[in-house]
Amino acid sequence: MSLALEDRARALLDGHSGKAMQLAMRLVVKAADIMGAERLLPVSFAHLDACFYTGQAHVDFVRFLLENGASLAVPSWTNNGVVSLADPSLRPSAEDPEMVSGAAEVMRLYAKLGCVPTWTCAPYQHAGGPGFGDHIAVGESNAVSYYNSVVGARTNKYGDYLDVACALTGLAPDAGLHRDEGRKAQLHFDCSALPGSWRSEDVFAHLIGHHVGRIAGRRSPVISGLPKDTGRDALKAISSAVAASGGVELWHGVGVTPEAPQLSAVFTGTETHTVTPDDLARAHRELSTGSDGPLDAVALGTPHFSLSEFGELVRLLDGRRAATGLPFLVSTSRVVRQLAEAKGWVAALQKSGVEIPVDVCTYYSPRVRGLKGRVMTNAAKWAYYAPGMLGIEVAFGSLKECVESAVAGEVWRDPRLWTSR
């Protein structure tokens, strides 16, 4: 391989900065070799997924780093964990003691390594992150999709350990989505024939994202016909849905995302799909695995809820309570919860019977794992994974449908929405 290494990288590889940094450098070089990169490039930010416990090897890896002189080269934020460090009451009982202690341990060790303990899968909702054109190293699939597409930062999807290796060395392979030629769209979805009123509903972003991801697979799509004022919450919904139903790491929205002022800026191909009402109806059917009926829970916040989503939730609830005994969970980060608290929204939501866990993934938090039966969500990503991971039925709907259903205790469908059946 013809990978060119600077002196500093060569010294790390030779072990001059200890065994941990040597391992990190070796992993980056190995990835660069496999990707066919000719050089490494500096990254300025990382978001680490390796703090999400999947076994003892995760604990041993970060412990090895700490014991062998590892130090982070760039600001490194953390994805959510399997357990909540902020709220130990969310910890499960004796379900799996090895998993619970390992999960907390791996989070503590990454904090000790010097990571910024954001514990969120939506780091782009926090201030101080990367900007347009920055090269970064990110692992979490929805964050990869959002940073690439909406922010215009550049990252490949770096899996466990490689994300940490990039953060330690401050380097990544100059390949894939880091390069201009890697950022073009391979296929085009045209939504312009759909009624404008549909396209401005919050549920539309989830449905179009699910539909596009299913067809795009791992390719990069461009979508035209999105409303010019498509907001950050809708962009988040599309980013996470295309990454879940496909493996999309970069998408463009014409006139909406920064690299696609016009279609021609990113697309010169011939594969164009015209999005029809039937496509959206099918997406809705695929995301609602169960029939409508009495509800067992409502789960929101995949990816983590934003401040504006909290505002909208408070507005829609308007002081009403969720049906007695109905779990109503909204996952978010500590930082966003604090901002919502300052506005008085957390207190208002708690009065309405809403729980707001922080630090945790929406599938693996014990509170979520205990859910059974028919669960309603407004998140395409949650609806996509939950039936398999949690063994529940999903009723997918708009945020308003989730709220009205929570109050009624059974699935309520908005007659105003085209998705009603």
Partner 1 sequence: MIRARVLNAAEAHGPVLALDEPLSFWGAFEPRTGVILDVHHPQRGACVAGTVLLMRESKGSGSAPGAIAEAIRLGTAPAAIILAAPDINLAIGADVAATLYGRHCAILSVSEGELLELSRASALRISAAGEIRFETV
Kindly state whether residue 130 participates in binding partner 1, applying the rule CB under 8 A: no
CB of 60 to partner 1, least distance (A): 5
Kindly state whether residue 372 participates in binding partner 1, applying the rule CB under 8 A: no
76/118 Cα distance (integer angstroms): 9
Give the closest residue to 185 by CA, choosing from 219, 142, 157, 139: 219
Kindly state whether residue 141 participates in binding partner 1, applying the rule CB under 8 A: yes
**Contact pick of 3, 11, 35, 316 for partner 1 (by CB under 8 A):** 35
Kindly state whether residue 218 participates in binding partner 1, applying the rule CB under 8 A: yes
Q: What is the DSSP track for 155-189?
A: --B--TTHHHHHHHHTEEES-GGGSGGGGS-SEEE
Which range in 22-30, 109-117, 259-267, 308-316 contacts partner 1 by CB under 8 A? 22-30
- Enumerate residues 6+ apart whose C-beta is below 8 A from 271: 186, 187, 188
324/340 Cα distance (integer angstroms): 24
Which range in 20-28, 180-188, 263-271, 273-281 contacts partner 1 by CB under 8 A? 20-28
**Contact pick of 9, 21, 43, 58 for partner 1 (by CB under 8 A):** 58
Token couple for 338 = 């604090």
**Contact pick of 15, 159, 277, 373 for partner 1 (by CB under 8 A):** 159
Which range in 46-54, 274-282, 317-325, 374-382 contacts partner 1 by CB under 8 A? 46-54
Kindly state whether residue 135 participates in binding partner 1, applying the rule CB under 8 A: no
- Enumerate residues 6+ apart whose C-beta is below 8 A from 30: none
Handedness of CA 26, 32, 37, 40 (dihedral sign): negative
Which residue in the block uniquely carries the two structure tokens 């309405």? 352
Give the closest residue to 299 by CA, choosing from 385, 421, 232, 186: 385
Which range in 56-64, 231-239, 272-280, 321-329 contacts partner 1 by CB under 8 A? 56-64
State phi, psi for 106 to the nearest 5 degrees: -65, -35
- Enumerate residues 6+ apart whose C-beta is below 8 A from 132: 151, 152, 153, 258
3-state secondary structure of 12: helix
**Contact pick of 60, 67, 95, 318 for partner 1 (by CB under 8 A):** 60
30 vs 416, which CB is nearer to partner 1? 30
Kindly state whether residue 162 participates in binding partner 1, applying the rule CB under 8 A: yes
Instruction: Yes or no: say if 396 and 378 are a contact pair by the CB < 8 Å rule.
Output: yes
CB of 165 to partner 1, least distance (A): 8
Token couple for 88 = 């130990």
Kindly state whether residue 105 participates in binding partner 1, applying the rule CB under 8 A: no
3-state secondary structure of 396: strand
Site size for partner 1, by CB under 8 A? Answer: 31
**Contact pick of 21, 40, 47, 49 for partner 1 (by CB under 8 A):** 49
163 vs 174, which CB is nearer to partner 1? 163
Kindly state whether residue 114 participates in binding partner 1, applying the rule CB under 8 A: no
Which range in 155-163, 188-196, 227-235, 321-329 contacts partner 1 by CB under 8 A? 155-163
36 vs 261, which CB is nearer to partner 1? 36
Instruction: Kindly write out the interface string for residues 163-202 of this chain, putting x where it contacts partner 1 by CB under 8 A and - elsewhere.
Output: x-x-------------------------------------
Determine whether 184 is exposed, middle or buried from the number of CB atoms within 10 Å of its CB (0-12, 13-18, 19+): middle
123 vs 397, which CB is nearer to partner 1? 123
**Contact pick of 161, 328, 364, 384 for partner 1 (by CB under 8 A):** 161
State phi, psi for 133 to the nearest 5 degrees: 85, -10
Which parts of this chain interact with partner 1 (CB under 8 A)? Answer: 23, 26-27, 30-31, 34-35, 49-50, 52, 54-58, 60-61, 64, 139-141, 157-163, 165, 218, 247
